[in-house]
Each structure stands twice: as C-alpha cells, then as structure tokens.
Amino acid sequence: MKNELLRHTLSTICYRFKKAVEKVGSGFGDFCAGKESRTPREIINHMYHVLNSTRIFIIEEKYDKRQPEKLDLTSEIERFNSEIKKFDHVIAGEEIEVNYAKRLIQGPLSDLLTHIGQISMLSRLNGNPILGEDFSSAPIITGIN
C-alpha cells in the first residue's frame, strides 16, 4: 500500500475527529471558552483550510492562501470529513518521499490532532465529555471510506 503510515495517520485523525464531534449539540459550534479563543466551528474551519491547502500543495506545489467560507457547525464537520476523503485519495495515488512524509506528519497532520484535542476539551467544558478509550487499540482501518 502506498504511503501506508501517512494514510493510517489520516485514518487516525478521522477516527478521533468523529469521536470529538459525534455527540455535540447544534449550539456547540459557537461555544466560546473565553476572550479571543476560537469556537469549535472556527477550529474546524481552520482544520479544513489546513488539510485542503496541504492537498492542493501536494498536487500543484503551490500554496492556496484563500480563506474558506465560514459555515454552520454541521456543514463544517461535513466539509472537513469530505476533505479527509479527498486527501486520502491523493496520497493513495502517488508515492510520497519519506522526508516529505515526515514533514506532513510533523506539520499539518500533527496540527489537526492538536485541534481535535482542543475540540475535545471544549466539548468537556460545554458539559459533554468524550468517553475514554484505549486509542492504541481502536478499530482504525487504513483508508477513508
């Protein structure tokens, strides 16, 4: 399988993201933890931008600086999940050199995991803690469907 570690990392991101947003209410998107902090909706919008920009950079080798349209929470979640599928399709289709893959892991993919942690924390602060589990044995299958 081409780029198996990258694709597994992306599947892990997808799994954790779904856990972080699966039981949130519609008002959660605009929950604010404090002065000048991002709302969950703004965080997911940023996550979409990070992944979309990275995918375009892999394909075209140029950075797209345009900021994405801001959507309601449900639409932001759907758009991000759709972008994960597009990203997986791109990295499944071409062999990515190891040093470039390392940069993807330490940069944009780690950034996404950080933001998923923020969403999880905001969910707890909003009265909806995520159930604990052993993520190292989670049923993650490489490749996004």
Return the higher-pLDDT residue of 17 and 135. Answer: 17
Q: Which whole number is the average pLDDT over 64-70?
A: 90
Is residue 144 one of the residues assigned to a domain? no
Mean pLDDT over residues 17-25, rounded?
Answer: 92
**Where residue 35 falls among pLDDT bands split at 50, 70, 90?**
confident
In a domain, 125, yes or no: yes
Residue at 121 is within a domain: yes
Domain count, the chain: 1
pLDDT, the chain, mean: 93
- Give the tens place of pLDDT for each residue, 114-133: 999 999 999 999 998 888 88
In this structure, is residue 141 part of a structural domain?
A: no
> For the chain, what percent of residues have pLDDT higher than 90?
75
Question: Has residue 140 been placed in a domain?
Answer: no
Classify the phi-psi angles of 34: left when phi > 0, otherwise alpha if psi is within -120 to 50, otherwise beta: left
Residue 93: both structure tokens together: 């289709």
Average pLDDT over residues 19-26: 90
C-alpha span between 32 and 51 (Å, rounded): 24
Whether the per-residue pLDDT at 81 is higher than 90: the answer is: yes
* 27: in domain: no
Q: Is residue 25 part of a domain?
A: no
- Residues 6 or more apart from 109 whose CB is under 8 A from it? 6, 9, 10, 13
pLDDT of 25: 85
Question: In the numeric block, which tokens belong to residue 68?
Answer: 């994405």
Residue 66 predicted with pLDDT over 80: yes
Per-residue model confidence (pLDDT) at position 122 = 96
144 pLDDT higher than 80 = no
Place of tokens 């599928």: 85
The answer to whether residue 56 is domain-embedded is yes
- The DSSP-derived string for the chain is -TTHHHHHHHHHHHHHHHHHHTT--GGGGG---STTPPPHHHHHHHHHHHHHHHHHHHHHSS---PPPPP--HHHHHHHHHHHHHHHHHHHHHSPPPHHHHHHHIIIIIHHHHHHHHHHHHHHHHTT-PPPP--GGGS---SS--
> Hunting for tokens 């954790």 — which residue is that?
16
**Residues spanned by the domain of 46:** 4-16+42-130
